[in-house]
Each structure stands twice: as C-alpha cells, then as structure tokens.
Amino acid sequence: MFNTAAFIYQKIHNVNTGENHSAKHVILMPTGFHQCRWGYHNLSVVEDVVENYKKAQIPLDVIWNDDDHMDGHKDFTLNLVNYPRPKLLAFLEKIHSIGMKYIVIIDPGIGVNSSYGVYQRGIANDVFIKYEGEPYLAQVWPGAVNFPDFLNPKTVDWWGDEVRRFHELVPVDGLWIDMNEASNFCSGLCKIPKGKQCPSGTGPGWVCCLDCKNITKTRWDDPPYKINASGLQVPIGYKTIATSAVHYNGVLEYDAHSLYGFSQAIATHKALQGLEGKRPFILSRSTYVGSGKYAAHWTGDNKGTWEDLKYSISTMINFGIFGVPMVGSDICGFYPAPTEELCNRWIEVGAFYPFSRDHANFYSPRQELYQWDSVAESARNALGMRYKILPYLYTLSYEAHTTGAPIARPLFFSFPDYTECYGLSTQFLLGSSLMISPVLEQGKSQVKALFPPGSWYNLFDMTQAITSEGGQYVTLDAPLHVVNVHLHQNTILPMQQGGMISKEARMTPFALVVTFPAGASDGKAAGKLFLDDDELPEMKLASGSATYVDFYATVSQGTVKLWSEVQESKFALDKGWKISKVAVLGLGRSGAPSALEFDGKPVTAASNIELTSLEQKYLEDLQVGSEKKSSVMVEVNGLEIPVGKNFAMSWKMGISG
C-alpha cells in the first residue's frame, strides 16, 4: 500500500525545513503581546490603554495605532492636534525606556494632494503605477490616491526616503502595511469629480465617490475566463488596480497583481533596516511566496464569532506551511462586538499564536483584555504562560529563520504515522512537542482533545499527566479561565519566570523542564535554546552576539543525567543568565532521589541546592500488563548554573523496571 498522507507529510516537512529557502532569514520581533484598535482618537487614549494593562497586570509589549495618528488618513503624517508631537515623543521615550514598542499603519495609496509633500516627491520621482501614461487613479481612505510601483527601483528609493523622514518625525519601531492587495474602493478608470467633495466627510469612508467606468477593451481586463472574486461575478479588476495598468518596464498589473504586497514588504524592510541597522518588524495583509522572509502576517479582518475563532487555527497552521511563520488573527475579532465568553476563549488561543495581537474595528465597542474582569483573568493565565515560554518561542523563531520550519504546526508534523491526527485543526503544536487544546465552542467547560501516542504533561500543573498508549481522545476539564497545554515526552523545554514585558521576562532565571515517557526505566530527552539581543538585523551565531545551547538528558540503570553543550558562550555569559531550577517528569521510582553530582563532584548538604520529588497523577491509570506503575516529578532547586557554560549533573534514583 502507498501511504499518500505520509508522503504528503514528508513533502511538506522537506519544504518547510530543508527546501523552503523563501521562508528562511525570517525577520522577527520579540514575541510578546500586542494591542491595537482602529479608533484610538488621541494620544491620551493610547496612554490610558498602556496604563490600564499595567494596572490589570496583563503583559503588553507593543502598542499600535491604526490611522488615527494620521493627518487626514495620509501616509507618513501626524495629526498634530490629537497626537501633538512633543507629547507623543515623551510617551515614546517613556515606553521605550522599559522595553515597549510602538507600531503604526501605512497604506500603499498616496493621497492626490498638491500640498502633500509625500505625493509631490512621488510625482517628481515618477514612482506611481500608470494607465495610458498617467498615474492610475484609485480611492482609499484619504480619497483619491495613486499607487506606488514597488517594482521600480526609483520607487524603492523614494519609499525608503519617506520612511526615513517619518521616522525622524515619529521614531516608530515597525510598520503595518495594510490594504496592499491593493485594495481600491472604486473599480475601473476613474477621475476626480468636479463640483463635489470626495470623500464627503460623512458616511462610511469606503464608498466610492470618484467618477468611474469599467475597462473592458483589453483581454487583460476582460479575459475569456471569469473569476468569482468575493463571491461576486464581477470584472477581474473589481475593487483593485485595473489589470491593464502598467508597472515598471512595461509589466502589466495582470501579471504582477499578486506581487504587490510582497514587493511593498521588501521595500519597507529595506527602508526600516537602513534606519538604525536594527531588525525590522513589518506586518502585511497581502502575502506571496517568500513574504515570510520580510514580514509577519495577520489573517485580515476576521469576525468576532466562534466560527472564526475555530478557523483561526487552520489559517495559522496553513500560513506556517506556506513559509510565513509569524502569523496570527485579531484576538476577540475585528468586528462585530465579541461576547465576554468568546473573548475569554479567544485569548486562551491567541496567547499561543506566533503573532499575538488584540485588534478591533472603529465601530465596535472597546475590547482590550482588561475591559472584562473575567477576560483579564484568562489573559493573565494564558499570557502569563506565554511569557514563561518566550525562550522556547524565540528558539522556534530562530529555527524558522534558519530552516523555514513553522512555529505553529499541525499535529501530524510530529506524528506522521498517526493517521488520526491528519485532518485535525482544533488543536496545534508549538514546535515539535508543546500541544494547545483550546475550547472553541460556546458554553463548553470541557474539551475533547486528541493525544497522539506517548506521555503528555500539563504545563500549568506538571504533576498532572496523560499516557496515550496508541493515541486516544481524552475529555479534559476546561473551565472558563483554563486552557489545556501539554508537553510531550522526550523534550527539554527552556522556560523563564515571565513578566509584564518581554524585556523584563528575558532577564529572569531559567528553568529546564525535562520529560521522559511516564514510568520508563530508560529514556532520552533533548532541547535547545537560542539567545540574542533581538535587535541585530539577522539571527545568527557570530562575534559574541548570540548563544546557542543544546540540552540532553537520559535516565538509565537508576541514574538520571542532564548536560548541555554551548556554542558561542560569550553572549549568555555577559548577560549573566542562570539556570535556577530543573524539573524532570515521568521518572519511575522505588526510592527517593539521592547522590546529586554537579560536573562530576558530589553536592554537599552545605549547599543551597534542594532535591525533592512529587508523585504524579494520571487521568488514565499507567500500567503495563497487570502491573501498575507510579512516576514522580523530581525538582532540583537552588541552582546557579550559567546558561553560557557547559554543565553536567546527575543523581541516583530507584527506578522500577
């Protein structure tokens, strides 16, 4: 028999780890939590949001502005009334001093306005897409706009200069490039209407007010086949750039349409990296093959519905496979207003998206995570765990950077021979071994989760374990503030103590969680850790700017061993990072742990190191044949092991065979 599913898995795995060169060199930002909203009308609102997250003790790394900071929705401008520059700069200095970031939106459409410097310089440099020799006219938020042609090298230079000018005005930490499919509120060939204001300033801003007519005279605008765009039988250029418009060197929009957002991401990446030589952060709505090298992605204006919460998992997994590992959906939904229960459950999923951001519509009620006491509790719980596993998430980012592997993965990536998980899209893995099993239905306080073969340990309570001999569904308790997160056997997970900001969390002591098959007398486990300052242009081991550590553990013949192998130790040693705790799960026992040694030397009673054990509990009885086995979690506390230095530790333990 030919196993088609296993073959498909192997091809996907090869693409994402060995062959997906388009996704390599992913440029990422610290993987903390982000807050945004379309409708933060003035700076004081933004300041209040940051302060309220602090009061609620909910972690927050990045605060965003949609177009509220702009002057008349125009790119690279600042509304000096609602966002007075001196006060904005003082605010940014304050949040930058504690490690927070600030990101704003820009759209590709440049407002047609003779007094607007960005537009004037664009015309002078001839950077816009053409139709019959003139800049193609469209409509987006500022009203009439022209679209930059990012295939033109002159446009890339002009765009970089505009980014530089704006950064001098407002020292942003990244850019959000939206509406870059490109989106157009009109269709066809348009002109600015005479005798009326467009847009009028009243009513929805997305209603076309230009004078337009369809273009049907070329086969590019009216091809012999039809598409059903947005479920509408409309011309191929509907609500976008006309497909017979012309890019640099005569390239038709018909041939370049899918590259628009990609080419803008490349130009924006070049511009940001050229400012201070730091690692850029770009979020793009439109993507193409290779976009993951330059930008993160969110899944657009997803709805605040249970259906879209569930769908967010499959879209996240798909984009990881497509080579865009930094991906997530609008937590709690962009629109309409989410229910309190839905927002509780969404942060329990969204806290584990690679890109984790709450974002809402102008017309929706406020939905920051502190708006409901119950959601704040769920956020502290779920995001609290995210900030503890930041070392693991960041190491997965490095793996994505070097190999193209996704951060969030379907279960079959780690269990290709377990066919039951092939169609599963209600659970997901972070990396190879951390499984999230969320509640995705209204009114539920339990979740039926699939556990592939092996031993799984509850990350929130490591004394709780599940053994799945050949793979099985297990019904888990999941009250409103609980999300089930389990760690698979044979893993070493690096963790820290968490914090309200990732910069703060990154300086706390490390812990290593080691998982063996439950009750095993022999076993192996491994893990890895990548550390750098998260600002260098590229994630790489060189010149003391980063450290990489491989961790290994074994249990055999009554002895537990744990050791590390460090590459480029200087960076971690200079930072002073220490491992203060080790927890080893799944050990069988017939006696207490003893005879602890560190680097070959016995640890004496005079040291501050403590060796303790706790019995583990199982949802399913652990037994082989008729013999029930017990297992324990052994903790070693009081350690001060430099992360940047090779170490080896061991202890004796009675292990039943």
**Catalytic residues, which ones?**
178, 181, 301
Type of residue found at 94: K
Q: Yes or no: say if 392 and 495 are a contact pair by the CB < 8 Å rule.
A: yes
Interatomic CA distance for residues 181 and 239, integer angstroms: 10
DSSP per-residue letters across 337-385:
PPPHHHHHHHHHHHTTSSSEEE---TTSPP--TTSSHHHHHHHHHHHHH
User: Phi, psi (5° rounding) for residue 585?
Assistant: -110, 145
SS3 617: strand
**CA end-to-end span of the chain:** 38
Which uninterrupted H or E stretch holds 43? helix 43-56
Type of residue found at 262: F
Q: Using N-to-C axis directions, what is the helix angle for 373-388 and 340-350, rounded to 10°?
A: 0
Write 113-120 long-range contacts (CB < 8 A, 24+): 113/74, 113/142, 116/74, 116/77, 118/74, 118/75, 118/76, 118/77, 118/162, 119/146
SS3 136: coil
DSSP 8-class letter at 198: S
Nearest CA-CA partner of 267 in 295, 289, 247, 309: 295
Which uninterrupted H or E stretch holds 86? helix 85-97
Burial of 319 (0-12, 13-18, 19+ CB in 10 A): buried
DSSP per-residue letters across 431-459:
TTTEEEE---STT-SEEEEEE-SEEEEES
The token pair at 238 is: 């509907």
Helix, strand, coil shares of the chain, percent, nearest 5, are 30, 30, 45
Interatomic CA distance for residues 191 and 253, integer angstroms: 19
Give 488's strand partners. Answer: 456
Type of residue found at 310: K
Chain position carrying tokens 């076309």: 208
Chain position carrying tokens 């401008």: 77
The token pair at 42 is: 């003035």
The token pair at 411 is: 């279960």
State how far the alpha carbon of 273 is from the alpha carbons of 160, 163, 173, 174, 293, in Å. Answer: 10, 11, 11, 10, 13
Q: Yes or no: say if 298 and 329 are a contact pair by the CB < 8 Å rule.
A: yes
Q: Yes or no: say if 273 and 283 are a contact pair by the CB < 8 Å rule.
A: no
Which uninterrupted H or E stretch holds 635? strand 631-642
Q: Yes or no: say if 262 and 286 are a contact pair by the CB < 8 Å rule.
A: yes
State how far the alpha carbon of 72 is from the alpha carbons of 77, 138, 456, in Å. Answer: 8, 17, 54
Q: Which residues of 31-49 are buried (b: 16+ CB within 10 A; e: fewer)?
A: bbbbbbbbebeebeebbeb
Interatomic CA distance for residues 268 and 175, integer angstroms: 8
Burial of 151 (0-12, 13-18, 19+ CB in 10 A): middle
Give 30's strand partners. Answer: none
Instruction: Name the H helices within 205-281.
Output: 253-256, 260-276
Tally of CA atoms within 13 A in the half-sphere of 377 that contains its CB:
9
